[in-house]
Amino acid sequence: WNPDVKSARLQGEFKPGTQFLWKAGPAKITSLIQDVDPPHTLAWTGKIMGINAIHVWDIQVVDDKTIVQTEESWDGLMSSAMHDQLEEMLEKSLYSALNNLKTECERV
């Protein structure tokens, strides 16, 4: 459902503490699952090119609707040095992911 993610491979059980390897664009990323509460929460951390990332997906049912929120934060030397450019890139990435998820949900 997310064409920005080219591949993803879980390195064990789907639970906190498990690593997964994934590729987004040209970047190969190793991440660590931090929190899993299906179908409501998924959170992971990752590190790439001097950026430490935390990403959280939260899914809630309100009345007859599903509300999806995603947040990501970055810190580290690279994120400080290129703050404005990376902030814009991150905003576009999150918007794209939510839009792709919406499209897939409406398709099925």
Domain ranges of the chain: 5-107
Domain 5-107 grouped into CATH 3.30.530.20? yes
Tell me the pLDDT tens digit for each residue of 32-76.
999 999 999 999 999 988 899 999 999 999 999 999 999 999 999
Tokens linked to 41: 């929460």
The pTM assigned to this predicted structure is 0.89
Position 5 scores a pLDDT of 95
> Read out DSSP for 72-102?
EEEESHHHHHTHHHHHHHHHHHHHHHHHHHH
pLDDT at 30: 96
As to burial, measured by CB atoms within 10 angstroms (0-12 exposed, 13-18 middle, 19+ buried), residue 44 is: buried
- Asked if pLDDT for residue 100 goes beyond 90, the answer is yes
